[in-house]
A and B are shown apart, each in its own frame.
Chain A
Amino acid sequence: DTGVSQNPRHKITKRGQNVTFRCDPISEHNRLYWYRQTLGQGPEFLTYFQNEAQLEKSRLLSDRFSAERPKGSFSTLEIQRTEQGDSAMYLCASTGGTETQYFGPGTRLLVL
């Protein structure tokens, strides 16, 4: 499968724990985006990378969230001290030269 992949697909954690998600974009796609999607809503932008540089972060993004793309390939999104309000689907998308976003299957997070 040469599409965008995300791991894990599901994560259940207790409030206060840290979680980390991984996204592997389509090979050679230079832009990588992270979104959060809650029930009944469209994807909400969190942050994006061009190669290894993090170019934009949403003003709504808490400082408990951090993302990296150290070698310009895969990316990780970490949430520290999780809260119940962090429960959502976390989507990753990549683009290569156009605006067309190729989404991964998402990681569904449930914070108890």
Chain B
Amino acid sequence: AQTVTQSQPEMSVQEAETVTLSCTYDTSESNYYLFWYKQPPSRQMILVIRQEAYKQQNATENRFSVNFQKAAKSFSLKISDSQLGDTAMYFCAFANFGNEKLTFGTGTRLTIIP
């Protein structure tokens, strides 16, 4: 069974700084998806960024980028120029190709300090 580990329960950073959230996973599969989801306080969970395991290039979405290390089974999220609106719970998630049941980590609560 796949597992996803987020070892940082809480983090805080000053506004405009860069922060990196860690995620490791365990799988015996070679083809899979990885995701970062954001859950703002009292708001809907939304997708931040996704990565297909067969792609060597790291995914980027504006201020959000990932460092995908397939051999190390590591998938960290970097948020550049952090903004107050980035304050949220962040969940790392894994899904096998062809199996759309996601396995989630326990989350990292990120607080951006003005």
Report whether chain A binds chain B: no
